[in-house]
Structure 1
Amino acid sequence: MEWKKKTVNVAIQVLPEADGKIKYSLVDEAIEAIRNTGLKYRVCPFETVVECTYNELPILLETIHDACQKAGTQKMLTNLKIQVDFQNGVTIEDKMEKYD
């Protein structure tokens, strides 16, 4: 399917838990893992938005979860929002250009 090769926007919110508490230092590990992928991203107050293809999404999620687990996360809730345009790619700028 061709649309799976087009750029999508994924809003990723991770809530990593260690010792019974949400740890913001572990959220930093998730953001660092995203940065290390080389994908375009934007950190927002409640989530991080990433541009990737639909086909790249499983690898991105695995990378984030592996980094958090390695950093000491014991449990993690991950919330996703995925925006797909079946004809065209979706960019962060599509939604943000009038605010930048």
Structure 2
Amino acid sequence: MDYLNQNMVNVAVQVLPISTEKDAYAIVDSAIKVIEESGVNYTVSPFETVLEGHYDELMQVVKSVQNVCYSQGAQKVMCYVKIQSVAGHDVTIDDKMAKYIE
């Protein structure tokens, strides 16, 4: 059974592009644009972006994020990924953040 694609998961992705020719923040902006254009629910924070969706879909977005960093001039990319899943239940950004939003 494919437990990871049964329910929604959260994936936090942080990319640290290294480029001698282009500003790292500009490359990160391109990565965030890829996430936005993917159509998945997401939240940008100062250190990472949290994605919400099905595992395989989100892993494809993570791959696209890394690829766009290279296409925008990165020579190296450090990519840190955290995944939260719960057997039999969706993991949503809203469930985790609701008590902090007024």
TM-score with structure 1 length normalisation? Answer: 0.91
* Structure 2 CA distance for partners of 1:96 and 1:87, relative to 1, 3 Å: same
Instruction: Tell me what 1:52 maps to.
Output: 53
Q: Does 1:13 align with 2:14?
A: yes
- Matched to 2:61, the amino acid is L
1:5-84 → structure 2 map (5 Å cutoff): 5-19=6-20, 23-84=24-85
TM-score with structure 2 length normalisation? Answer: 0.89
User: Moved runs in structure 1, 4+ residues, more than 3 A?
Assistant: none
**Aligned partners of 2:12 and 2:81 also within 8 Å:** yes
**Aligned partners of 2:52 and 2:58 also within 8 Å:** no
Residue correspondences, number: 100
Mark the runs of 5 or more structure 1 residues left unpaired by the alignment.
none
Q: Deviations over 1:8-67 (max 9, x none)?
A: 001111000101887111111111110010000000010000002112133112211121
Greater per-residue strand proportion: 1
Mark the runs of 5 or more structure 2 residues left unpaired by the alignment.
none
Q: Deviations over 1:51-88 (max 9, x none)?
A: 02112133112211121111111100001110001110
Q: CA deviation at 1:2?
A: 4.3
CA distance in 2: counterparts of 1:8 and 1:88, whole angstroms: 9
- Matched to 2:20, the amino acid is D
